[in-house]
Structure 1
Amino acid sequence: MAQISASVVKELRDRTSAGMMDCKKALEACNCDPEKAIAWLREKGLAKAAKKAGRSTSEGVIGSYIHSNGKIAVLVEVKCETDFVARGEKFQEFARNVAMQIAAANPICVSSEQVPADVLAKERDIYVAQTKAEGKPDNIIDKIVDGRVKKYYKEVCLLEQPYIKDDKLTVQTLLNDLVATLGENIQIGRFVRMQLGEDAAE
């Protein structure tokens, strides 16, 4: 295999924020293909995130964002394991970006598990009625409805939403990447989004 130049490793590091050695390993594993190396690093990040998911998160910050028109404001709780990480630039930037995401995309909850049962039941009823009205056969209605529920989750669940600064990523992917980079369990907790003239939603 050809020698991997330091400039290629640095470019991958700039794009992913992963460590230099991790970037080199990714490039070696993917025959120096940067796009495949990014996917490889993301998969490793997902594995790291899963391993760290049970660890206590007693530190963190309250991220905030106020829209330029002064009519939308967001507060979001982002938790981590240590005060050292909480004070770091990457963690603080992530908290700001998540607050901005909430302001722009208006999720109703953090994850699909948090969608209220009555809200989900109402959505499913609507999708069933729509699917029947479209004349779909009874034996595939459930499958179609399940697909529409997944699409609904992408609209209303923060972690499943496409990231507003790069819609090829989800907020969950962004979170996994940060866990892999900082080496701590990181969780998005409560949030509140206020819009002038509307009730606040948490």
Structure 2
Amino acid sequence: MSISATLVKELREKTSAGMMDCKKALEATAGDFEAAVEWLRVKGLSSAAKKADRVAAEGTVFAQTSGDTAVILEINSETDFVARNEGFKGLVLDVAHHMLNAVNAAGDILEQAFHKNPTKKVGDMLKEAIATIGENLVIRRFEKYVATANTVVHTYIHGEGKIGVMIEVAASKPEATNNPALKTFAQDVALHIAAMNPMAISSAEIPAEVVAKEKEILTAKNLESGKKPEMIEKIVEGQIRKFLAENCLVDQPFVKNPDLKISDLAKEVGKQVGADVSVKRFARFELGAGIEKKSNDFAAEVAAQMKGH
């Protein structure tokens, strides 16, 4: 049967699929528009599955605050180009909206009913985006904070989605949470965390095994450099103190004023708001951190393709 160009155009506008795919879908379904939408969806989901083994290390880190709730998430794509795609940006906003509004945004997010359209799961929406955009996309990680009567939540994005920080700051008096100085403190510390990448708020939060491993490495390095064995323990103790100071938020020099430690800044702000101020928790996401990217040897790739020609 003859398929009109108008019908093909309408199907393309509805599905964002390619013109030829839309024509094939209409031909395969004898011009039934809704059946063609489903045909493309099925075809797209099949294509999406084939893309799942591709390394997705680009994308964006996104964070948002709405009232007393804050979320941070990392969604990965295969290329930086797709990360600038309006469809990809729409997916990121949809996932953030789901997390902000879903009653339970923990656990397997892909199995949750999508907040904007509960007839679909978040995983279904993701697969549709993969089919439309044409790259593997991964909702890699996410966290959600909800403020209490004594806390303020805040988010900060650095470098167009390269680093994101979510922070919860506490005050000993509930009325202090409405003080602009506390919100400025949350913003300043979030910016500091983005820049300085602390491991934990204080030394008490750094796992004992991390400290033990650092001691082991430092001991070996000092022995290798010829330090006297009887002096090693004392030297390593000093180096561990330095390691903890460099990696614990409260002991780090404030990035905007290195004369102050973050703990000193908290005391100064505490005086301004009339309450004890502290950082309760934070999350810092750096785009692609820990993902092993494939590096292709172009010359080897060309040589492999030329074999047998």
Instruction: Judge same fold: TM > 0.5, yes or no.
Output: yes
Structure 1 or 2: more helix by fraction: 1
Structure 1 partner of 2:161: 70
The answer as to whether partners of 1:60 and 1:82 remain within 8 angstroms in 2 is no
**Correspondences of 1:49-198 after superposition (within 5 Å):** 58-198=149-289
The RMSD of aligned alpha carbons is 1.6
Letter matched to residue 142 of structure 1: E
The alignment partner of 1:63 has SS state of strand
Aligned with 2:276: secondary structure?
coil
Residue 121 of structure 1 aligns to a residue whose secondary structure is helix
CA separation in 1, counterparts of 2:198 and 2:161? 19
Q: Do the aligned residues in 1 keep the contact of 2:152 with 2:169 (CA within 8 Å)?
A: yes
**How far off is 1:58 after superposition?**
5.0
Q: Unaligned stretches of 5+ in structure 2?
A: 1-147, 291-309
| Amino-acid identity (%) | 36
Q: What is the rounded CA distance, in whole Å, between the counterparts of 1:184 and 1:110 in structure 2?
A: 19
One-letter amino acid matched to 2:151: G
Q: Single out whichever of 143-152 and 111-120 deviates more from structure 2.
A: 143-152
Q: Letter of the aligned partner of 1:171 in structure 2?
A: I
Moved more, 106-115 or 151-160: 151-160
Please state whether the residue corresponding to 2:160 is helix, strand or coil: coil
Aligned residues: 143
Q: Secondary structure at the match of 1:123?
A: helix
Distance 1:158 1:189 in 2: 11
Q: TM-score, normalised by structure 2?
A: 0.44
CA distance in 2, matches of 1:142, 1:172: 29
